[in-house]
């Protein structure tokens, strides 16, 4: 099926929940760049967490107001902003839907870091409260509003788990199973792929799946759930147009994604921190492809009455240790194997089916496309903003891991 563009049909109104964040901001900018009416809704909690953790984005980021002003000044279609906590301001959310009548909603408004979700009982409870309540409030408000709104949700590949899949390819959301009957016969059906979350954060995303399944079945809410791999890179072509549009670059042990952390460490001459043997296999996607995938999902919504669409939003899989060797070869950095703070398999396989986005026209950005050096250059430019005391991951999954990494109290 050939992908159609939103512009070929009509201008749409899109609410981008969590549109000030690492993935949400470049997504919002891209949709505005396509000519759509974009309203960002965000409680700015990620900026508050920076203050709590006493660590800032490696790239300097300006306020949301300055971002929006800069975008308009360079000729972009103006975007609007509403400061709202969708997890705790249900009536305001419902009123917003009734007033704005959006065609689509992109839902990024969740605490996105597994290590942060495991940092303490407080961050565990915050992650569940923020993520699950936010998603449920959104779905309940859509139903109460009586509107037909397509929801695109940014999920995670982590819902499938990172144990051994015995060489089996992970399908896009649904697994075909045969169910034996007492008379010896069998019937075949498709079910949600069994979930195996590896952190409280991943657990909230698996709960999201069940909320989507129910509201789609019961109330016919049209939903696309994107199971995204680990994002690397910093900017898109649009956010590169003005320094004030720059996307955030997290490098700390709680929020920094593994490949960006490696590239930053290489840029400042810090040994690459590989946890355990480095045999963990993960799925990856560049921020530019992430933005493109959200656009493709919006352009190809489910039909009325169709089940939840699930796409595996990733472009390639790599073992973490092999990634470290690749970065070391590129930059001359040293590799340092440290005890793993996560309670996970020492090694795992990960073979992923991502044909849906490929068939819709995604041309994947790979690690071999020269963008690794681009990220190193960004990290080098802002190396003076790095707090070396914040590089190591200090959030442990259990007391056993805490003792191993030396953070047990």
Structural domain contains residue 83: yes
Task: State the catalytic residue, choosing from 116, 201, 251, 255.
Answer: 201
To the query of whether residue 201 is one of the catalytic residues in this protein, the response is yes
205 is catalytic: yes
pLDDT digits (tens, 9 = 90+) for 148-183: 999 999 999 999 998 867 788 999 999 999 999 999
298 domain residue, yes or no: yes
Distance (Å, whole) CA 91 – CA 137: 9
Residue 275, domain extent: 10-405
Number of domains in the chain: 1
d(CA 299, CA 204): 27
**H/E segment holding residue 224:** strand 223-228
In a domain, 2, yes or no: no
Q: For residue 3, is it within any domain? A: no
Is 1 within the bounds of a domain? no
pLDDT of residue 367: 87
**Residue 180 belongs to a domain:** yes
Say what the pLDDT of residue 167 is.
81
Q: Which of 119, 124, 205, 309 is labelled catalytic?
A: 205
Q: Considering the entire predicted model, what is its pTM?
A: 0.95
At 10 the pLDDT is 63
At 24-58, the pLDDT tens digits run 999 999 999 999 999 999 999 999 999 999 999 99
Dist. CA 143–CA 198, nearest whole Å = 31
Is 5 part of a structural domain of the chain?
no
CATH of the domain at 192: 3.40.50.720
Pairing relationship of beta strands 281-286 and 316-319 according to DSSP bridges: antiparallel
Higher pLDDT, 3 or 143: 143
Mention every residue, 6+ apart, whose C-beta is less than 8 A from residue 368: none
The pLDDT value given to residue 5: 45
Q: Of these residues, 59, 156, 236, 331, which one is catalytic? A: 156
């Amino acid at each position: 099926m050939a992908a159609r563009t939103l512009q070929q049909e009509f201008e749409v109104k899109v609410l981008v929940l969590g549109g000030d964040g690492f993935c949400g901001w470049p997504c919002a900018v891209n949709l505005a760049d396509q000519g759509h009416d974009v309203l960002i809704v965000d409680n700015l909690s990620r900026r508050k967490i920076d203050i709590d953790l006493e660590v800032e984005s490696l790239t300097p980021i300006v306020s949301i107001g300055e971002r929006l002003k800069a975008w308009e000044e360079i000729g972009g279609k103006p975007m609007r902003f509403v400061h709202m906590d969708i997890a705790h301001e249900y009536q305001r959310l419902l009123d917003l839907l009734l007033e704005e009548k959006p065609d689509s909603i992109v839902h990024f408004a969740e605490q996105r870091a597994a290590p942060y979700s495991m940092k303490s009982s407080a961050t565990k409870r915050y992650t569940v409260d923020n993520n699950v309540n936010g998603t449920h409030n959104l779905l309940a408000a859509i139903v109460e509003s009586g509107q037909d709104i397509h929801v695109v949700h940014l999920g995670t590949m982590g819902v499938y788990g990172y144990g051994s899949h015995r060489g089996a390819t992970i399908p896009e959301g649904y697994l075909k199973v045969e169910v034996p009957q007492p008379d010896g016969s069998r019937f075949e059906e498709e079910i949600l792929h069994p979930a195996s979350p590896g952190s409280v954060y991943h657990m909230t995303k698996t709960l999201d799946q069940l909320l989507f399944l129910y509201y789609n079945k019961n109330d016919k809410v049209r939903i696309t759930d994107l199971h995204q791999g680990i994002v690397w890179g910093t900017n898109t072509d649009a956010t590169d147009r003005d320094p004030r549009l720059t996307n955030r670059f997290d490098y700390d042990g709680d929020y920094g994604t593994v490949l960006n952390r490696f590239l930053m460490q290489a840029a400042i001459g810090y040994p690459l921190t590989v946890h355990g043997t480095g045999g963990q296999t993960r799925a990856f996607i560049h921020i530019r492809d992430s933005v493109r995938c959200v656009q493709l999902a919006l352009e190809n919504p489910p039909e009325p009455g169709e089940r939840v669409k699930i796409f595996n939003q990733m472009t390639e899989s790599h073992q973490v240790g092999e990634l470290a060797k690749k970065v070391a070869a590129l930059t001359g950095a040293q590799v340092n194997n440290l005890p793993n703070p996560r309670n996970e398999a020492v090694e795992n396989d990960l073979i992923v089916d991502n044909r849906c986005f490929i068939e819709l026209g995604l041309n994947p950005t790979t690690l071999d496309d020269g963008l690794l050096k681009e990220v190193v250059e960004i990290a080098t430019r802002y190396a003076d903003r790095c707090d070396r005391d914040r590089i190591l991951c200090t959030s442990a999954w259990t007391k056993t891991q805490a003792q191993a990494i030396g953070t047990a109290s």
